[in-house]
Amino acid sequence: MIQAISPLHDAHHERHLTSLAALTASHRDKKKHLLLAASGSVATIKLPLIIRALARHQPDLSIRVLLTPSATLFLAGQSAEQPSVSSLSTLQGVDGVYGDADEWREPWRRGAGILHIELRRWADLLVVAPLSANTMAKIVGGFADGILTSVVRAWDAWGELDSDVLRDDGAQGGDATGDGGAAAVVSGTTPRRTKKKRIIVAPAMNTAMWRHPITAKQLRVLEEEWGVDKELRDGGAGDLAGDGWFEVLHPQKKTLACGDIGDGAMMEWTDIVTIIEQRLGLASPNE
């Protein structure tokens, strides 16, 4: 028999409120903040490997994980390489794991935090690895039907909302991009970062999906309209209004989980780790 539980005594609800408060309080903890997400692809099983590799940067790196409902199907404790979702929170450096159910768990009240906005504010970098064909389509279409797509839809595409350039005393301060992007003020305009906080996506899908004409159209939006200039990708300051905020890590050719041989496999997870380290200004093991 299922027993009804009053919201006043809902332990999960209490943990949710506590985690939201902790998230808000950690905005200025002096750590680099990585929002690491996965959507529905077999490559989701590489997520724990990415997290474990980044553990070497403790205590200077904080990771919060976002999972779409489909992504959780690949992390249900099926095998050693597919641990349960709950086990992710025990990995070193992980300070939160979020799914769609963690937002809007109860009617919103004025003054309460909004999870996808707080996650956006908190993050120095968002990495979606893997990015499924479905979630790519949603992002390009502007959908905000889950925690991940809501964070992406609410991203600061102008470098203004989360600039952190004005301290309490009104003086100009630095930012927390981790990529050297100091804040700047253009006369008569809103203070802006010299570099926008980035979103990096690593697509992973079947070869037929990757080669589909609609995928090419979606990539043009992500890379040409929203993309970071290739010359600025590895750390150049860039023009205030000229650089984008999206970076696409193209997939590789290999034997896919379905048995097909072709492009569409997610970039090697070790290479993704290296790129994360570069973008956040974290020293790699060889440095």
Active site residue ranges: 258
Q: Judge whether 149 and 223 are in contact, CB under 8 Å.
A: no
Query: Helix, strand, coil % (nearest 5) of the chain?
Result: 35, 20, 45
Q: Residues 6 or more apart from 34 whose CB is under 8 A from it?
A: 54, 61, 62, 63, 64, 123, 124, 125, 127, 276, 280
Q: Judge whether 227 and 233 are in contact, CB under 8 Å.
A: no
Q: What dihedral angle (degrees, nearest 10) is formed by the CA atoms of 28, 34, 38, 44?
A: -140
Q: Judge whether 64 and 100 are in contact, CB under 8 Å.
A: no
With tokens 């380290």, the residue in question is: 277
Residue 224's closest CA among 248, 200, 256? 248
- Residue 221 three-state SS: helix
- My answer on whether omega of the bond before 7 falls inside 30° of 0, hence cis, is no
Secondary structure string (H, E, C) spanning 121-138 = HHCCEEEEEEECHHHHHH
- Please give the backbone phi and psi of residue 53, each rounded to the nearest 5 degrees, phi first: -65, -35
Q: For the purposes of burial, counting CB atoms within 10 Å of the CB of 123, is it exposed (0-12), middle (13-18) or buried (19 or more)?
A: buried
